[in-house]
Homo-oligomer: A and B are copies of this chain.
Amino acid sequence: MTTERDRSAAIRLFGRYLRDLGLPVTQQREVVADVVFGAAGHLSVDDIADTLRGCGERIGKATIYRTLDLLVRSRLVAEHDFGEGFKRYEHRLSNHPIHEHLICLECGKVVEFESNELYRVENNVRREYGFVPVRRRLEIYGLCKECHEAGVELPLEGLTCPIETV
């Protein structure tokens, strides 16, 4: 969650970003940004549209998409694709601006975690492949603690013979 102070500070930062680019700071942009900065989790565009509708704000989806594009460019917001067929958006105001995601295949819950090992991985690829890392994405899909403890089993649909032995 975001504190009220972080939230308004973020909106001011977004305004600064827009002004630096010579773009107008419109009401719609501020309202969309406020929804994103004030939310805890990973919002879909529909989530944002629903929230706005709940507040009595009448903002078109095109404007939401266009504002999200600016928010992502400003790096105040991260865009995610968890394979659901649409994108999700998450502000980066937490104490852990760089984190990865655990996604439960049963209930869809997303847990965030940090991994220091990833820095080692990035150093390795830089050294071994000459590849210069800029950003990364690590998602681990599986069963969250609650689903696992509830005894959920995931059906394995693949070949009975593991392909590694082909």
| A residues adjacent to B (C-beta < 8 A) | 6, 9-10, 13, 16-17, 20, 73-76, 81, 83, 92-93, 97, 102, 104-105, 111, 113, 115, 117-118, 120-122, 124-125, 128-145, 148-149, 154, 157-161, 163-164, 166
Contacts and interface: CB of A to CB of B under 8 A. Distances in A.
Contacts of A140: 121-122, 125, 131, 133, 135-137
The majority secondary structure among interface residues of chain A is mixed
Given A76-B163, A163-B13, A132 B143 contact: yes
Stoichiometry, as copies per complex, reads: 2
Contacts of A111: 129, 131
B134 A137 contact: no
Contacts of A97: 163-164
